[in-house]
Amino acid sequence: MKIGLFGGTFDPVHPGHIHAVVEAYIALDLDKVICIPARQSPLKTEVPTSDHHRLKMLEHAVRHYDFIEIDTWEMEQEGVSYTYDTAVHLKTQYPDDALFFLIGTDQYRSFEKWHRYQELLEMLNFVVMDRFSDAPVSDDRFMIISQPVLEISSTIIRERIREGIQVRHQLDPEVYQYIKENHLYEA
């Protein structure tokens, strides 16, 4: 089986995330994609919204995609979420499957800062989802798929909510409703 892996804090998850996953699923002819919400990213300083809320929003966002699953293993671990530890876990779960770890160009550019990145390259197939708007990626250690990307930012969504600026158009309707009902990201 060919399995795509897509990690992130998903704080909040937005249509740009889902668009990237679906485009990778098509381009790589994957059997499924597993979204892996992180407890705390080692390269981000901001503490994310609670695991419970981020998981609920992700569940709402992927509910209509039968090829997308959610793996909460990282959320169940203590401390910072390292992709290396997750890769070891997933290799034991799927020993005979081809695993494709999907990253954006921003993650690609900081890849050498990742914990045990050289070992990761041996364990997983890394796929850079290269946006048409970015400078081209040229690195034979990575598969590259070009795709149009919805330019939506979780950071900007959080900031706009804090400032009382409209964000409904940047979120799945159920995710937007969940954020409003739970007063997430408000000042």
| Residue 136: pLDDT band with limits 50, 70, 90 | low
Spatial distance between the Cα atoms of 128 and 130, rounded to a whole number of angstroms: 6
**2-151: CATH number:** 3.40.50.620
Q: What pLDDT was estimated at residue 76?
A: 95
Average pLDDT on 104-125 reads 93
Angle, CA 109 vertex, CA 103 and CA 112 arms, to 5°? 95
Could you tell me which of 80, 120, 81, 116 has the C-alpha nearest to residue 100? Answer: 120
Copy the structure tokens of residue 104.
């954006």
Domain edges within the chain: 2-151
The yes-or-no verdict on residue 148 having pLDDT over 60 is yes
Spatial distance between the Cα atoms of 165 and 168, rounded to a whole number of angstroms: 9
For residue range 12-70, list pLDDT tens digits in order.
999 999 999 999 999 999 999 999 999 887 777 777 899 999 999 999 999 999 999 99
Percentage, residues of the chain above pLDDT 70 = 96
Strand partners, 147: 131
Other Cβ atoms within 10 Å of 94 Cβ, number? 14
Residue indicated by tokens 């609920």: 56
Q: What pLDDT was estimated at residue 104?
A: 87
| Alpha-carbon torsion, ordered 130, 168, 8, 63, to 10 deg | -100
Q: What pLDDT was estimated at residue 135?
A: 60
Q: What pLDDT was estimated at residue 134?
A: 61
Spatial distance between the Cα atoms of 73 and 90, rounded to a whole number of angstroms: 9
The yes-or-no verdict on residue 130 having pLDDT over 90 is no
Spatial distance between the Cα atoms of 68 and 121, rounded to a whole number of angstroms: 24
Q: What pLDDT was estimated at residue 147?
A: 81
| Residue 133: pLDDT band with limits 50, 70, 90 | low
For residue range 150-172, list pLDDT tens digits in order.
789 999 999 999 999 999 999 99
Spatial distance between the Cα atoms of 150 and 18, rounded to a whole number of angstroms: 10
Other Cβ atoms within 10 Å of 152 Cβ, number? 16
Copy the structure tokens of residue 44.
């981000």
Copy the structure tokens of residue 29.
């002819």
Angle, CA 74 vertex, CA 69 and CA 77 arms, to 5°? 145
